[in-house]
Amino acid sequence: MVMISFRPDERTEQELRELAAGRDRSTVLREIIHEAYMERQYAQAQADAERLRHDEADRAELARIAEEMGDSDAW
């Protein structure tokens, strides 16, 4: 486990105090980091999906696969 030193400014200290609301600050900071990480992952997935939605080569490949598989009702 890595120990992290953190020096909040006054505003951040107040916000952390309110977010913690009597809970352990380490737990709150872990939650905040996890939430920020997940938000970043979802944003990246959304950007990738949007990019692929407009990628003509990818769309052509999907159409080729669908055609190769035939009628989806058969499955």
Give the model confidence (pLDDT) of 8-59 as tens digits.
999 999 999 999 999 999 999 999 999 999 999 999 999 999 999 899 998 8
Amino acid (1-letter code) at residue 38: M
Q: Is residue 43 included in any domain, yes or no?
A: yes
Containing structural domain, residue 56: 21-67
pLDDT class of 71 with cuts at 50, 70, 90: low
Angle, in degrees to the nearest 10, between helices 25-53 and 10-20: 100
Note whether residue 16 is domain-resident: no
Cα dihedral sign, 47-49-50-55: positive
Domain count for the chain, please give it.
1
- Identify whether 36 is part of a domain: yes
Structure tokens that stand for 21 in this block: 């609301």
pLDDT band at residue 70 using 50, 70 and 90 as cut-offs: confident
- Asked if residue 46 is part of any domain, the answer here is yes
